[in-house]
Amino acid sequence: MIVLSAGMPKSGTAWYFNVTNDLLIAAGYADARIVRRKFHLHPILKHPGCYLKGPTWLKPTLLIPHCCGYTFAVKTHESPTRKWRMLAAAGVLKPTYIYRDPRDVALSAFEHGQKLRQAGKTYSFAPLTTIEAAIYKTRAWLEIWEAWKIYGQAFMTRYEALITNPLEVMQQMIDFLALPPISEQTLLSIAQSYEVKNLPNLESEKGGLHFNQGKVGRFRQVMTPAQLDLCQKHLGDYIEEMGYTP
């Protein structure tokens, strides 16, 4: 089985992937990084975070370890493609998706871009030079969230739920993936490993978790009234549909 750990940018997707990978290891499956190395998947699984990105014609090589009996996770920000849906229908792939309040997403993307520019980098979020630009960009990411919601076959996770009740989310994921039982003590150990005090050691080991501040609802203290109005104008329909408070 291939677990497609998908998610909206700046919604804890690296954290989500790593928790998923930890659960698979605890259930007796291989570390995705070992699978990546063993089957030479570096051209399509970028960095230790196993981010699925690369030439489309190479992506079917993910099926090789699956056919060899491996169960492993990969990370993506993409929409549910026709091929992924076919693989899911065949029982080869199981998708999960994490999302977050779009206003916190926009703020986090802008702040990540600031850090990249300060380091002299121009890729990823660096072009988002204003919060307003990040709000417009978030609208495009929400269209991908909507595609996953309409698809309806993914395990959907709120970032806020993973923050406040990680044990419950992990148990729900275990049930969705039909993994063997994992003890509560092991789940607690996994959750505690991602506490703020442990992050410096995990950043290099787990492929860059990109934690900023991770606080829920911080946009209310940082954004100006005009920026909040812009969020409501461009993101408001999604905010309501996702169940977040205006």
For the whole model, what pTM was predicted? 0.91
Q: Are strands 45-46 and 51-52 parallel, antiparallel or unpaired?
A: antiparallel
DSSP 164: H
Q: What is the pLDDT of residues 218-245, one digit of tens each?
A: 999 999 999 999 999 999 999 999 999 9
Per DSSP, 154 falls in state S
pLDDT at 213: 56
Instruction: With residue 73 as reference, give the H or E element that holds it.
Output: strand 72-76
Per the structure, how many domains does the chain have?
1
**What per-residue string of b and e applies to 220-235 under the rule 16 or more CB within 10 Å gives b?**
eebbeeebbebbeebb
How far from the centroid of its chain's Cα atoms is residue 61's Cα? 22
Distances 159 to 3, 10, 61, 163 between C-alpha atoms, Å: 18, 10, 30, 6
Residue for token digits 């995990």? 202
pLDDT of the residue at 105: 97
pLDDT tens digits for 38-52? 999 999 998 888 999
Query: Is the separation of the CB atoms in 130 and 161 below 8 Å?
Result: no
Amino acid letter for position 63: L
Q: Are 144 and 10 in contact (CB under 8 A)?
A: no
What pLDDT does 212 receive?
57
Q: What is the mean pLDDT of residues 138-148?
A: 97
Give every CB contact of residue 229 below 8 A, 6+ residues apart in sequence. none
Domain of residue 230, CATH code: 3.40.50.300
Confidence of residue 200 (pLDDT cuts 50, 70, 90): very low
Domain hosting residue 204, numbered range: 2-242
Report percent pLDDT > 70 for the chain: 90
What DSSP letter does each residue of 19-39 carry, written as one string? HHHHHHHHTTPPPHHHHHHHT
pLDDT band for position 57 (50/70/90)? low
Backbone phi, psi, residue 223, to 5°: -75, 145
What are the helix (H) ranges across 152-198? 159-164, 166-177, 184-193
Which uninterrupted H or E stretch holds 179?
none
Q: Which residues contact 165 (CB under 8 A, 6 or more apart)?
A: none
Residue 196 has pLDDT above 90, yes or no: no
